[in-house]
Structure 1
Amino acid sequence: MPRLLAAAVLALPLALFATPDAYAATELITNGTFTSSTTPWWSTSNTPLSVDGGRLKAAVPGGTANRWDAMFGEKSPALTLHQNRSYTLSFDASATATRAVRTTVQLNADPYPATLDQLFTVDTTARHFSWTFTGTLETANGEITFQLGGLTGGAYTFWIDNVSLVDNTAGSGSPLDLTSGFYVDPDSNPAVWVRNNGGDSRTAQINSAIATKPMARWFGAWSGDIGTAVGSFIGAADAADKLPVLVAYNIPGRDACGGHSGGGAGSADAYKTWIAAFATAIGSRPAVVIIEPDSLADFNCMDTAAIATRNDMILYATRQFHDKAPNTWAYLDAGNPGWVAAGTMAGRLSAAGLANIRGFSINVSNYYTTSDDVAYGTAVNTSLGSAAKPFVVDTSRNGNGTNGEWCNPAGRKLGVPAQVGGGAEMLLWLKVPGDSDGDCGIGAGIPAGQFSPDLAVHLITGS
């Protein structure tokens, strides 16, 4: 599963991305309005769910002993909850009979401790319910439940709509607290192409759809002195009061199974020097960093000794960001849903220092839908158990999902631009749209990392 090689960049004027207030509260619930589907809400088998007039309808049985014997909730993706943060849970609810029911915001693991545990009464009149509370859990494995059983009386129908769980804390504690939105790289390959090709018929389309959107900059051997390169990029973003996204891509033996993006530092010691300088150059300035795409998934062509050496290097990298870049959220790459089983990946992440950093990344330079990626990330977190972490998803080219090909496949499309939430902690453009995966697919003859306006237009149109 090879990845891109980023091209060298030129120092050109800044271009900024206007985003909504970065300090706005963050919605944690997926599909709380039930316009057409119950996904991703779940229920016990005796309490079937359906959509009824734009509301969630739960058919509740009679004769259950406990409230949790008939219940439904939302945990996909698992909710990330934090201690000492302000949250507000709200919804509209009614029922065919007067019933006292229970809602919780809790850990999705035995013994299911709750940070909110609230009884409320419903009847035939739709009413609005709302509670603001302070979080007592620190977990990436949370859930919201509605527990409808264990009551005197027969079966009844329960309706709910407009379910919202909001993290009221400014910026949700992210590096966005220190900035005013995501940074648009003014020197990305598509931005440079747009500036240099003002007369091309494709320029306006590429500028509007790609070049003016936030995306990551990749750093590797092509970057020259890494301290200077990272420091310059971070400094420009900091001066603009924006949050930059960086990808560290220089692990020795990169793309070990013979793909288009081979390379990396010449030795383990050289890599450690390089990644230490990378983290030092960021310092206390806010940033998001993706650590070594593919490095934990691409083990098939490596022997035990090589794997141990790689793990040692990645562990060292996580410690560098932990120790030297306190306002950086670093994510260790976890491949994609079609590559390594979630349980296996969880073990690899743990061994490589996941505990030292913010979380992990999924789908870098690939095409799996956000829902597939979220399901995979949730499965990884289930295997991680109490060590579960937040994750981010690369949505740069996943608008049409995957067709099973990885190298410049036809028919792919741009995905949702950078945002907080959206099913993961963040959705990010990590692969630069329009940059070739290599001499393959509809990018035949275009080297890895080279921008192609034709590839860019294919992604814009989904053709």
Structure 2
Amino acid sequence: MKAHSPSVSLSRRHLGPIALTLASAMVLACGPTPAHAPESEGVSAVSQSLTELVVNGTFASGSVSPWWNGPNTQSSVENGQWRVNVASGAANPWDAPIGQDNIPLTNGQAYTLSFTASASTSVTVRVTVQLGVSPYTAPLDQQITLDGTSRQFTFPFTSSLTTNQGQVTFQLGSRGAFTFRADNLSLTTGGSSGSGPIAQTSGFYVDPNANPAAWVRANSGDSRAARIQSSIASKPGARWFGNWSGDITTAVSNFVGAADAADKLPVLVAYNIPGRDCGGASSGGAGSPDAYRTWISAFASAIGTRPAIVIIEPDAVAQLDCLPNDTERQTRLSLLRYATEQFRDRATNTWAYLDGGNAGWIAADTMAQRLESAGAHNVRGFVLNVSNFYTTAQSTSYAGSVNSSLSSRYGYTLPFAVDTSRNGNGANGEWCNPAGRKLGTPSQTGGGAELLLWVKVPGDSDGPCGIAPGVVAGQFSPDLAIRLIDGT
């Protein structure tokens, strides 16, 4: 298994890709196995002033300056676009570089890189915002797939370094001879809550068909209905999609479309990895790797350019332990990488977060290796505590350790989100319908993480266990819901 190649300064000689052996990617640790199952108060968009950092991003003057091109490239302006002819002799992506230098970056500052691009043939190229000198740290490092159709790309990120020697680069080598075109190149400052899909909506979407809402409608005379409506059913939360969802294109498109019509931001969970939940209470998933690739590609395509938040495959990274051999672990990692690539390329207005387990499960350095191997660098970041109970503070501390390992090993850090649906009283060491748990902070931006989200639907059972021994996974229990409201 190979990690993505290191960031490089594009006017100098460089080292090649860093190899990540299967053994190092597969360092395994035992831990609890949370179960999951399928199944507002919105945050307002924050308006923030933006500062443009690149020069001549529209090529209106007819000149490419101060954009430069390196070996194996020829650069010009054609029909108001930047045209770059790439030669066939480049062995590595960074052997055919183009870019702009002297980009100021500030540690902890949020930025958004956007541009339109196309290519004369179908190719995958590398895009970075990075340090222009050793060690070439790249706060943004993305692979994009291009063809003859000009497409808009938008990549929000948070800088992990402070420098006046930043670069915006496109690394076009190792793909043979082709013509690359780009326009409307922009790198702006601005808080993460003021960029990406959050800025385009008026708050998180409240699912009117979530299990708690459906129960309230069907049981309006129940004495518990008003409390469940007020405390749970009226709050924004995620909808889970899997092999129960029917035609995935229709299911996802209808859900995202309803949110878009209401000017709200939907949260979706993709939960269909083969061998899901290691045979536990939420076992299942796609029947084969090929079936999963078809399913997840259709999922991402159904979102399209509409704004969304997506949680990718709860437990799938942490549960590599459960798979019987390296071949199956490598297959799962390849499927997760494929999923991240699909959301990156097909759902261009989505912030996708790859599940990273919880604060009490996998050692942080091991999780960092797994997230890198599973393609977390292709998407917005990672999410913690899905369907679990650890406090936001515990999750934030764990995320800091994961990011420290990502930075030291791979030269980047990632934003993260936390599931706060049931963490109001923290964890008691149990994961399956434990007593004494409580609702946490409703979905919002900030609060210790980039996003706090109700990913698990409060009141939906983890399985026939704990204080709900007769309630199957995914079934709503009003008793569980009231216990979460009261913290009992």
| Fold shared, TM-score > 0.5 on shorter chain | yes
Q: Report what 2:45 is aligned to.
A: 22
TM-score, scaled to structure 1: 0.68
Look up the match of 1:5: 37
1:235 equivalent in structure 2: 257
The residue that corresponds to 1:424 in the other structure is: 449
2:302 corresponds, among 281, 284, 305, to 281
Pair 1:224 & 2:246 matched: yes
Task: For residue 195 of structure 1, give the secondary structure of its aligned residue in structure 2.
Answer: helix
Report how far residue 140 of structure 1 moved.
5.4
Within 5 Å, which residues of 2 pair with 1:19-418? 19=42, 21-24=44-47, 80-83=108-111, 139=158, 141=160, 169=191, 171-256=193-278, 258-302=279-323, 303-385=325-407, 386-418=411-443
Deviation at 1:18, TM superposition (A): 5.2
CA deviation map 1:63-98 (0-9, x unaligned): xxxxxxxxxxxxxxx97423479xxxxxxxxxxxxx
Amino acid at match of 1:287: A
The count of residues paired between Structure 1 and Structure 2 equals 333
Q: What SS does structure 2 have at the residue aligned with 1:335?
A: coil
- Given that 1:322 and 1:357 are in contact with CA atoms closer than 8 Å, whether structure 2 keeps it comes out as yes
Query: Which structure 2 segments of 5+ residues have no match?
Result: 1-32, 50-105, 114-130, 138-155, 163-188
Instruction: Work out the CA distance in 1 between the residues paired with 2:461 and 2:192.
Output: 38
The DSSP-based 3-state class of the residue aligned with 1:247 is strand
SS in structure 2 opposite 1:338? coil
Give the structure 1 partner of residue 11 of structure 2: none
TM-score under structure 2 normalisation? 0.65
1:443, CA displacement in angstroms? 1.0
User: Given that residues 41 and 442 in structure 2 are in contact (C-alpha distance below 8 angstroms), is that contact kept between their aligned partners in structure 1?
Assistant: no
* Superposed displacement of residue 426, structure 1: 0.3
Give the distance between the partners of 1:139 and 1:20, measured in 2 at CA.
20
Change (3 A) 1:189 1:262: same
1:462 aligns with 2:487: yes
The answer to whether the 8 A contact 2:193-2:445 is kept is: no
Question: Which residue identity does 1:263 align to in structure 2?
Answer: G
Contact 1:215–1:430 (Cα < 8 Å) also in 2? yes
Partner of 2:84: none
Query: Which residue number corresponds to residue 83 of structure 2?
Result: none
Q: Cα distance 1:404–1:319, how it changes in 2: closer, same or farther (>3 A)?
A: same
Q: Which residue of 1 aligns with 2:27?
A: none
CA deviation string 1:236-265 (max 9, x = no partner): 000000000000000001111x42111100
AA partner of residue 262 (structure 1): S
Contact 2:259-2:265 at 8 Å conserved across structures: yes
Q: Secondary structure at the match of 1:387?
A: coil
Q: CA RMSD in A?
A: 2.4
Whole-Å Cα distance in 1 between the matches of residues 112 and 389 of structure 2?
A: 37
| Distance of aligned partners of 1:224 and 1:25 in 2 relative to their CA distance in 1, 3 Å threshold | same
Residue 3 of structure 1 and its aligned partner are, at CA, apart by 2.4
Whole-Å separation in 1 of the counterparts to 2:363 and 2:192: 36
Q: For 1:337 and 1:79, how far apart are their aligned partners in 2? A: 25
Q: What does the per-residue CA deviation read over 1:195-248, in whole Å, with 9 as the maximum and x for residues that have no partner?
A: 111000000100000000000000000000000000000000000000000000
Aligned residues of 2:110 and 2:190 also touching (Cα < 8 A): no
CA–CA distance in structure 1, aligned partners of residues 277 and 462 of structure 2: 12
Q: Distance in 2 between matches of 1:360 and 1:413?
A: 24
Distance in 2 of aligned mates of 1:214 and 1:79: 31
CA 1:273–1:201 in structure 2 vs 1: closer, same or farther (change >3 Å)? same
C-alpha contact 2:433 2:466 (8 A) present in aligned 1: yes
Amino acid at match of 2:397: A
Q: Secondary structure at the match of 1:223?
A: coil
Q: Distance in 1 between matches of 2:451 and 2:479?
A: 28
Residues 96-140 of structure 1, C-alpha deviation per residue, up to 9 Å, x if partnerless? xxxxxxxxxxx9xx99x9xxxxxxxxxxxxxxxxxxxxxxx9645
CA contact 1:370–1:423 (8 Å) conserved in 2: yes
Cα offset, 1:399, TM superposition: 0.2
The separation in 2 between residues aligned to 1:20 and 1:175, in whole angstroms, is 12
Alpha-carbon distance between aligned partners in 2 of 1:323 and 1:233, rounded to the nearest angstrom: 20
Query: 1:6 is aligned with what amino acid?
Result: P
In 1, Cα distance between equivalents of 2:420 and 2:268? 15
- Asked whether the 8 Å contact 1:368–1:398 carries over to 2, the reply is yes
Q: What does residue 478 of structure 2 align with? A: 453
The answer as to whether partners of 1:140 and 1:389 remain within 8 angstroms in 2 is no
**Are the counterparts in 2 of residues 396 and 417 from structure 1 also a CA contact under 8 Å?**
yes
Structure 1 unaligned residues grouped into runs of 5+? 8-16, 27-77, 86-106, 114-136, 144-166
